[in-house]
Structure 1
Amino acid sequence: MVSLIKDDVIQAWYMDNSDMDQRLPHHRTPNEFVPLEKLKELGVLTWRLDADNYENDEELKEIRKARGYNHMEVYDINPEKFSKYLETIEALYQEHFHTFEEVSFCISGSGYYDVRDCDESWIRISLKKGAMIILPAGIYHRSTTDSNDFFKIMILHSDDFISTPYNRSNEHLPERKQYIDTFVKKIN
């Protein structure tokens, strides 16, 4: 079911520690790219899908059916759509986790999702049109547009999805503990 991902729609790398604009790539010097297999070890799943024809994309239909995603929402994140654009992307950039999978499919534009690895380092995942990722429940992450300031994404979820973000003070939640047991302890 998992498609090959081409570097033209999704890449990942370790981030530097700079406090400069979050929309910049933040590559380390020298660059430290992360293979997609490493993301998979962290529970992050990736696909390349047909963003121009997503209504009829058979692979997307199969993923939605297999994972029970019967709802979708499309967010057009850009300065023209949000009167408080900078405040919006700042809010999205706050580190958090969810108690459900987070599914994001880039149908236009480009942006970033950052995830923590097992050593607490940030891995930046660059998504371009056609890239889809699934973040497991319990993984610390954040998101932002890139310097193009245009990121149109489809969020898929099931009926019981609750989008509440949880910060570091919620390490006790079962979904965070399950993530640690399933992915972090397995790698370490």
Structure 2
Amino acid sequence: MRAWYFDNLPGAPGLPHDSPPSNPVTSEALATLNVRCLSIPVEGYEAKINDIARERDYKSRDTIDISRAGLGEAYEAKIKGFFQEHMHEDEEIRYVLSGGGYFDVREAPTDAWIRLALEPGDLLVLPAGIYHRLALDDAESIHLLRLFQNEPKWTAYNRGPDTEVNPERIGYLRSVGVGA
């Protein structure tokens, strides 16, 4: 999985937003944000995903087809919602089965966006409380396996004054050495 600082230039969210020269972000830098990236070949992925689910105590999973065909009339609204900066109160694990897209995560304490390019076989683990968003690449399709600790829940808390004092957000910031 390739990562770089988002260029913040105008343009569609699904463009790479990787200004020349690229400003790459290392896996070590992502680890300081508690963002974990793995590559697992799609063919025969089930055994490795099952191992990860057991290791992290994930009991539930589902798949989502984020595409015009998969979401139908809700596509435009869903795409806008996915790109809205938000956080979750649970760890988010996504494994790319097909297609591609970008997850952007906020670097703490700089508040810069880091863009991660996802393709089939990429597994991304985002900690609870990190601000992030999703954009599809130019193919406008990504099929994801989502893992959950308990029952599937997708509650997104859009960034605002309430999220700044959310216990999960505060806990996340402390875990990366920001805040008291």
TM more than 0.5: yes
Match of 1:172 among 130, 154, 165: 165
Aligned residues: 175
Q: Which residue pairs with 1:4 in the alignment?
A: none
TM superposition outliers: structure 1 runs of 4+ over 3 Å: none
Does the 8 Å contact 2:61/2:152 carry over to 1? no
Q: Tell me, yes or no, if structure 1 residue 89 matches structure 2 residue 79.
A: yes
Query: Secondary structure at the residue paired with 2:101?
Result: strand
Gap regions ≥5 residues in structure 1: 1-9
Q: Matches of 2:152 and 2:63 in 1, distance apart?
A: 15
Amino acid at match of 1:173: N
Query: Secondary structure at the residue paired with 2:4?
Result: strand
Q: Tell me, yes or no, if structure 1 residue 107 matches structure 2 residue 97.
A: yes
Does the 8 Å contact 1:13/1:123 carry over to 2? yes
Gap regions ≥5 residues in structure 2: none
What is the Cα-based RMSD across aligned positions, in Å?
1.5
Q: Which residue pairs with 1:24 in the alignment?
A: 15
Query: Secondary structure at the residue paired with 2:55?
Result: helix
Alignment of 1:145-156 (within 5 A): 145-156=136-147
Partner deviation per Cα, 1:5-39 (whole Å, 9 max, x = no partner): xxxxx110001112311000001232101111111
TM-score (norm 1): 0.88
Q: Matches of 2:53 and 2:68 in 1, distance apart?
A: 30
Q: Which residue pairs with 1:138 in the alignment?
A: 129
Partner deviation per Cα, 1:122-167 (whole Å, 9 max, x = no partner): 0000010000010000000001210111101111002155421112
Query: Secondary structure at the residue paired with 2:50?
Result: helix
Does the 8 Å contact 1:52/1:107 carry over to 2? no
Q: Matches of 2:86 and 2:31 in 1, distance apart?
A: 19
Amino acid at match of 1:175: E
Amino acid at match of 1:96: H
TM-score (norm 2): 0.91
Q: Which residue pairs with 2:56 in the alignment?
A: 67
Amino acid at match of 1:95: E
Q: Matches of 1:74 and 1:24 in 2, distance apart?
A: 24
Alignment of 1:118-137 (within 5 A): 118=108, 119-137=110-128
Q: Equivalent pairs: percent with the same residue?
A: 33
Q: Matches of 2:132 and 2:99 in 1, distance apart?
A: 20
